[in-house]
């Protein structure tokens, strides 16, 4: 018999695509976050609209959860397949709630110490509302067995179904009440995992794409062009849905080439402009990336990676594009690559990318992935702090500077820093043309040998200047440890939790996380890695791309690598198991 | 104050690298004439081009310009126009650029109807890569990549633009820069996307479609009695005309269709360029605060 565990559990909702798993999962997250619990929710879905197993895994705790975790304690199985697929990942004393029509091998579950709560969810829905409200019954039943007050779910029902009219709201409330009461009455006593509200102010529930979008908005981005591609699509969707008075122009372009070129054109005209895509779309954008590099046009590109190559695993996660993104497009030009590890860092990257792009007049790529883009995390309202946002447009000639120009405006003037001051397009004294061909200081096409050398030197000097500004990798855990995990981007969450697991078991571990990846913070990285006893690169790819980048930049090799390329994100337990 | 702009305003000292006799010279001249007639100053215009001989045009003009990559100037121009609708945005690129590699953008720009003028320097050949057949090369045209003659039927810019929803479709000829200047001016005045396909002989690589070849065939639609360019069906017939007779002038024009940017609600209170200027002067961070409530 498992003793009572309070406020530390995971709930998994699974069903066929089209059964409302995502919206139900989202609603349940809201109900818990409003009661003060910390939430981390991972989505797992397939590239189809109807049918096929989807699930939503919600981790609940009193401290910040940076990742999903195994095992789960309660499964809401809307189909038999959900129960079958997740039965091996249910904790002892855990339970499965499912509609009684669903055929489940109860004996097998009971043998594993898993409880079966077959409930008349469909009948309850039909009696108090309609069959379509079966998911509402399931969510309420989950709240019921965990002892979570129904009022939070009722609030979510009112807010989320309000647009469908009072009748729909009332029916859902009646269904929820009936299912809640029955679950509490029949099953709550046997279920050891409990949830209790905390007295904390409201928290936000936000995913990586939303955090990047919010950051970009605050950073002055007012032009976004994109072509829909999972898992980046929700960025242009979210920005398109903003109130019109904010003035964010969004354009769903005819393809990714048009999307990136529109953003470049908008930036050339003087706006802060962005595009968002995944690896396939980014492949199409590669040539235009070089255009921005050559003509020194600030550009922000979000690349939310998914499983490759080619169409690969379209709805799943991977970190397979790191070296591609750092090297994409012909020739050599400065670029910046940022790989935020948390939603807070996504918000910051969202506005910081524009400052870097304008300061160094080059493309800046925010490298995310499906896991980071679509996983929801609860966040204190203050964690998104707009007062920290600054808009730095870099070197600009003032109107007085322009008036003083005697020999015309040299858009690509040779300077010590490599940064040539920009002028707002449309000023009578700053008329110029830029070209993707090699060009002189005024922007005119030339293949002259000395100019080519000087102009390449000028452009590439910006990279050295940008490197000064790149942040060193971040350490988590004790300064000295027997084992150091090394990771980048979204692997931060699972790695951080793995470090906690290891240290709580008496091991000695810490983590080095790379957020700023290019220009690579060589010196600091080398210094930190040299101080490690044993390093393990943990990467969501096959070829250990960060480990290769580290070796290329510092000459240092990591001692071991852990790789995962099945499209499913690492859990902390996966990492610990690999280390054993 | 009324300032008159001389076509020489647009001159530069940059050495023009086109072949002697190239049809692009007439386009350069006609564009300067048209902009002067419209009294558009160099800083008020943005000339966007792709890659190819004709796409070097912005380098040879004193005006804001952006020579982009092959096939993409319409997309870049559309972004610039949406960011700052006050700019006069003019695209100049070749037939390979616009109708070949950039064909997707061409079709979608026609139906999108941004207030952008596009001059296609159509010489029915790839010049800068030294003589391969282009989308507008006539079937049977012999080049280095079509030694037995081009097999595909030629791309029909006017018909495709019409089918795709373009609101202004015209054709001109480098043998007559004055006529061309008039057509370009009309295209710029037109509110909406304007396609001006210019027959522009490549004197080095196209030995078939020469000045003489065109002169024998071209005629002016404005001299064609009863021709009404607002008549879509009549325009469709004129768009098919190629060979014995080639019509010049405005083939199709419909006014009063809202432009794309006219209909973008986020542009109603200012453009992304002007809004950014405001934000730099006065960060409006408090207006984002309420957005957080959406996540609770």
Q: Name the residue in chain B with its Cα closest to that of A389.
A: B285
Q: What is the CATH number of the domain that holds A510?
A: 3.40.50.920
User: Residue B26 falls within a domain, yes or no?
Assistant: yes
A419 and A384, same domain (yes or no): no
Residue to mutate among B46, B266, B286, with most A CBs inside 10 A, is B266
A185 and A64, same domain (yes or no): yes
User: Residue A132 falls within a domain, yes or no?
Assistant: yes
Q: What is the pTM of this model?
A: 0.98
| The predicted structure's pLDDT at residue A356 | 98
Q: What is the CATH number of the domain that holds B65?
A: 3.40.50.970
A553-559 average pLDDT score: 98
User: Residue A288 falls within a domain, yes or no?
Assistant: yes
Residue B217 per-residue DSSP state: T
What confidence tens digit (pLDDT) does each residue in A209-225 have? 999 999 999 999 999 99
Residue A176 in contact with partner chain B when CB distance is under 8 A: no
A478 and A452, same domain (yes or no): no
A99 and A24, same domain (yes or no): yes
Tell me what percent of the residues of chain B surpass a pLDDT of 90.
94
User: Residue B282 falls within a domain, yes or no?
Assistant: no
Hey, are the CB atoms on B76 and A262 less than 8 Å from each other? yes
Residue A263 in contact with partner chain B when CB distance is under 8 A: yes
| The predicted structure's pLDDT at residue A1 | 63
What confidence tens digit (pLDDT) does each residue in A233-283 have? 999 999 999 999 999 999 999 999 999 999 999 999 999 999 999 999 999
| The predicted structure's pLDDT at residue A19 | 87
Q: What is the CATH number of the domain that holds A256?
A: 3.40.50.970
A381 and A504, same domain (yes or no): no
Chain B residues within an 8 Å CB radius of A263 = 79
Chain B residues within an 8 Å CB radius of A200 = none
Instruction: With CA atoms as reference, report the closest residue to A411 among A391, A396, A389, A392.
Output: A396
A299 and A257, same domain (yes or no): yes
User: Residue B164 falls within a domain, yes or no?
Assistant: yes
Chain B residues within an 8 Å CB radius of A237 = none
User: Residue A137 falls within a domain, yes or no?
Assistant: yes
Q: How far apart are CA B258 and CA A49, in angstroms?
A: 36
User: Residue B291 falls within a domain, yes or no?
Assistant: no
A72 and A168, same domain (yes or no): yes
Confidence of residue B281 (pLDDT cuts 50, 70, 90): confident
Residue B153 in contact with partner chain A when CB distance is under 8 A: no
Q: Residue B90 belongs to what domain range?
A: 17-259
Q: Packing angle between helix A134-146 and helix A121-128, nearest 10 degrees?
A: 120
User: Residue B122 falls within a domain, yes or no?
Assistant: yes
Q: For residue A395, how far is the Cα from the chain centroid?
A: 31
Residue A211 in contact with partner chain B when CB distance is under 8 A: no
| The predicted structure's pLDDT at residue B1 | 44
> ipTM for the complex?
0.98
Q: How far apart are CA A292 and CA A365, in angstroms?
A: 12
- How many of the other CB atoms lie within 10 Å of CB of B131? 16
Q: B192: left (phi > 0), else alpha (psi -120 to 50), else beta?
A: left
Of B69, B80, B87, the CB nearest to A288: B69
What ranges in A34-133 are assigned the alpha helix state H? 80-86, 106-111, 121-128
User: Residue A394 falls within a domain, yes or no?
Assistant: no
| The predicted structure's pLDDT at residue A406 | 84
Confidence of residue B10 (pLDDT cuts 50, 70, 90): very high
Q: Residue A91 belongs to what domain range?
A: 5-200
Q: Name the residue in chain A with its Cα closest to that of B13.
A: A444
Residue A74 in contact with partner chain B when CB distance is under 8 A: no
Indicate if the pLDDT at residue A345 is higher than 90: yes
The two three-digit tokens of residue A560, written as one number: 């071991």
User: Residue B189 falls within a domain, yes or no?
Assistant: yes
Q: Name the residue in chain A with its Cα closest to that of B65.
A: A433
Chain A residues within an 8 Å CB radius of B292 = 204, 381, 384
Indicate if the pLDDT at residue B2 is higher than 80: no
Q: Give bridge partners of residue A205 from the DSSP assignment.
A: A378
Confidence of residue A399 (pLDDT cuts 50, 70, 90): confident
Q: Name the residue in chain B with its Cα closest to that of A33.
A: B296
What confidence tens digit (pLDDT) does each residue in A145-188 have? 999 999 999 999 999 999 999 999 999 999 999 999 999 999 99
| Mean pLDDT across chain A | 96
Confidence of residue A49 (pLDDT cuts 50, 70, 90): confident
A95 and A129, same domain (yes or no): yes
Q: Name the residue in chain A with its Cα closest to that of B57.
A: A433
Q: How far apart are CA A102 and CA A78, in angstroms?
A: 8
Could you give the number of structural domains in chain A?
A: 4
Low-confidence winner among A312-316, A411-415, B2-6, B220-224 (lowest mean pLDDT): B2-6
Q: How far apart are CA B227 and CA B251, in angstroms?
A: 9
Of B81, B104, B285, the CB nearest to A386: B285
Phi, psi of A64 (to 5 degrees): -60, 130
Residue B278 in contact with partner chain A when CB distance is under 8 A: no
A160 and A230, same domain (yes or no): no
Confidence of residue B283 (pLDDT cuts 50, 70, 90): confident
Residue A357 in contact with partner chain B when CB distance is under 8 A: no
A27 and A151, same domain (yes or no): yes
| The predicted structure's pLDDT at residue B285 | 78
What confidence tens digit (pLDDT) does each residue in A436-476 have? 999 999 999 999 999 999 999 999 999 999 999 999 999 99
A458 and A488, same domain (yes or no): no
Indicate if the pLDDT at residue B182 is higher than 60: yes
Asked which of A200, A232, A259 is the last residue of a domain, the reply is A200
User: Residue B42 falls within a domain, yes or no?
Assistant: yes
Hey, are the CB atoms on B68 and A246 less than 8 Å from each other? no
User: Residue A187 falls within a domain, yes or no?
Assistant: yes
Instruction: With CA atoms as reference, report the closest residue to A423 among A452, A439, A443.
Output: A443
Buried b (16+ CB within 10 A) or exposed e, A318-338: bbbbbbbbbebbeeebbbbbb
Q: Name the residue in chain A with its Cα closest to that of B16.
A: A445
Q: What is the CATH number of the domain that holds A123?
A: 3.40.920.10
Could you give the number of structural domains in chain B?
A: 1
User: Residue A393 falls within a domain, yes or no?
Assistant: no
Asked which of A178, A200, A222 is the last residue of a domain, the reply is A200
| The predicted structure's pLDDT at residue B3 | 62
Q: How far apart are CA A393 and CA A280, in angstroms?
A: 30
Hey, are the CB atoms on A249 and B295 less than 8 Å from each other? no
Burial class (CB in 10 A: 0-12, 13-18, 19+), A47: middle
Of A247, A253, A381, the CB nearest to B266: A247
What confidence tens digit (pLDDT) does each residue in A481-532 have? 999 999 999 999 999 999 999 999 999 999 999 999 999 999 999 999 999 9
Asked which of A360, A388, A416 is the last residue of a domain, the reply is A388
Buried b (16+ CB within 10 A) or exposed e, A205-230: bbbbbbbbbbbbbbbbbbbbbbbbbb
Q: Name the residue in chain A with its Cα closest to that of B81.
A: A266
Confidence of residue B71 (pLDDT cuts 50, 70, 90): very high
Of A244, A266, A436, the CB nearest to B272: A266
Q: How many CB pairs under 8 A join A and B?
A: 205
Residue B246 in contact with partner chain A when CB distance is under 8 A: no
User: Residue B173 falls within a domain, yes or no?
Assistant: yes
Instruction: With CA atoms as reference, report the closest residue to A67 among A577, A572, A578.
Output: A572
* Enclosing H/E stretch for A275: strand A272-277
Chain A residues within an 8 Å CB radius of B47 = 433
User: Residue A63 falls within a domain, yes or no?
Assistant: yes
> A 240-259 residues with CB below 8 A of B?
242, 244-251, 253-255, 257-259
Q: How far apart are CA A235 and CA A238, in angstroms?
A: 5
What confidence tens digit (pLDDT) does each residue in B231-244 have? 999 999 999 999 99
Q: Name the residue in chain A with its Cα closest to that of B261.
A: A249
Residue to mutate among A262, A295, A331, A389, with most B CBs inside 10 A, is A262
């Amino acid at each position: 018999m498992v003793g009572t565990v309070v406020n530390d559990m995971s709930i998994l909702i699974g069903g066929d695509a089209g059964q409302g798993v995502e919206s139900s999962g989202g609603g349940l997250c809201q109900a818990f976050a409003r009661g003060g619990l910390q939430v981390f929710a991972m989505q797992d879905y397939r590239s189809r609209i109807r049918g096929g197993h989807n699930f939503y895994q919600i981790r609940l705790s009193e401290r910040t959860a940076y990742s999903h975790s195994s095992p789960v304690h309660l499964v809401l199985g809307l189909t038999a397949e959900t129960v079958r697929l997740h039965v091996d990942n249910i904790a002892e004393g855990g339970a499965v709630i499912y509609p009684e029509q669903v055929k489940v091998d109860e004996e097998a579950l009971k043998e594993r110490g898993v409880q079966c709560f077959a409930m008349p969810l469909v009948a309850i829905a039909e009696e108090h509302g309609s069959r379509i409200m079966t998911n509402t019954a399931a969510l309420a039943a989950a709240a019921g067995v965990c002892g979570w007050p129904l009022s939070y779910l009722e609030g979510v029902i009112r807010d989320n179904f309000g647009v469908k009219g009072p009748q729909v709201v009332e029916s859902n409330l009646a269904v929820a009440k009936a299912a809640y009461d029955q679950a509490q009455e029949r099953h709550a006593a046997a279920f050891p995992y409990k949830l209790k509200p905390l007295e904390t102010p409201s928290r936000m529930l936000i995913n990586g794409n939303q955090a990047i979008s919010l950051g970009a908005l605050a950073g002055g981005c007012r032009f976004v062009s994109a072509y829909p591609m999972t898992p980046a699509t929700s960025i242009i969707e979210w920005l398109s849905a903003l109130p019109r008075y904010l003035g964010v122009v969004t354009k769903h372009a005819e393809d990714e080439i048009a999307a990136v070129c529109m953003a470049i054109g908008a930036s050339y005209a003087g706006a802060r402009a962005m595009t968002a895509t995944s690896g396939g779309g980014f492949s199409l954008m590669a040539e235009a990336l070089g255009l921005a590099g050559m003509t020194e046009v600030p550009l922000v590109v979000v690349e939310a990676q998914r499983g490759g190559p080619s169409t690969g695993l379209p709805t799943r996660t991977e970190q397979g594009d790191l070296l591609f993104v750092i090297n994409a497009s012909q020739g050599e030009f400065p670029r910046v690559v940022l790989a935020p590890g948390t939603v807070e860092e996504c918000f910051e990257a969202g506005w910081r990318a524009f400052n870097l792009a304008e300061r160094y007049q080059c493309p800046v790529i925010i490298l995310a992935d499906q896991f980071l883009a679509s996983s929801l995390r609860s966040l204190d309202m203050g964690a998104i702090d707009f007062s920290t946002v600054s808009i730095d447009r870099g070197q600009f000639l003032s109107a007085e500077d322009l008036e003083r120009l005697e020999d015309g405006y040299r858009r690509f003037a040779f300077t010590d820093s490599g940064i040539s001051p920009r002028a707002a397009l449309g000023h009578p004294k700053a008329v110029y043309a830029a070209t993707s061909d090699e060009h002189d200081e005024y922007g005119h096409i030339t293949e002259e040998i000395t100019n080519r050398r000087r102009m390449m030197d000028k452009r590439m000097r910006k990279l050295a200047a940008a490197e000064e500004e790149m942040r060193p990798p971040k350490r988590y855990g004790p300064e000295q440890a027997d084992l150091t995990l090394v990771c980048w981007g979204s692997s931060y969450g699972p790695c951080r939790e793995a470090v906690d697991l290891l240290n709580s078991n008496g091991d000695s571990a810490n983590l080095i996380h790379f957020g700023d990846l290019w220009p690579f913070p060589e010196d600091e990285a080398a210094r930190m890695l040299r101080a490690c006893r044993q390093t393990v690169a943990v990467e969501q790819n096959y070829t250990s791309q960060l480990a290769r980048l580290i070796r290329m930049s510092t000459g240092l090799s990591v001692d071991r690598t852990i790789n995962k390329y099945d499209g499913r994100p690492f859990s902390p337990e996966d990492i610990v198991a690999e280390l054993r | 104050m009324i300032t008159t702009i001389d076509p020489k305003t647009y001159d530069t000292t940059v050495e023009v690298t086109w072949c002697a006799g190239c049809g692009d010279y007439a386009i350069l001249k006609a564009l300067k004439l048209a902009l002067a007639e419209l009294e558009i100053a160099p800083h008020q215009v943005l000339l966007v081009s792709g890659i190819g001989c004709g796409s070097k045009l912005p380098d040879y003009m004193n005006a804001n310009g952006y020579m982009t990559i092959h096939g993409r100037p319409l997309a870049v121009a559309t972004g610039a126009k949406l960011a700052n609708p006050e700019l006069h945005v003019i695209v100049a690129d070749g037939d390979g650029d616009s109708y070949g590699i950039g064909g997707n953008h061409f079709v979608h720009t026609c139906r999108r109807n941004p207030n952008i003028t596009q001059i296609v320097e159509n010489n029915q050949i790839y010049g800068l890569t030294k003589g391969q057949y282009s989308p507008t090369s006539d079937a049977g045209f012999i080049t280095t990549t079509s030694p037995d003659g081009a097999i595909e039927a030629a791309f029909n810019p006017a018909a495709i633009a019409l089918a795709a929803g373009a609101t202004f479709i015209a054709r001109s000829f480098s043998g007559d820069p004055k006529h061309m200047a008039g057509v370009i001016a009309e295209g710029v005045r037109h509110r909406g996307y304007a396609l001006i396909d210019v027959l522009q002989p490549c004197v080095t690589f196209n030995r078939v479609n020469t000045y003489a070849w065109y002169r024998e065939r071209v005629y002016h639609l404005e001299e064609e009695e009863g021709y009404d360019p607002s008549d879509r069906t009549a325009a469709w017939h004129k768009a098919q005309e190629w060979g014995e007779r080639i019509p010049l002038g405005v083939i199709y024009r419909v006014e009063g269709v809202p432009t794309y940017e006219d209909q973008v609600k986020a542009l109603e209170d200012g453009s992304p360029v002007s809004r950014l200027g405001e934000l730099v002067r006065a960060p409006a961070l408090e207006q984002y605060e309420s957005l957080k409530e959406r996540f609770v």
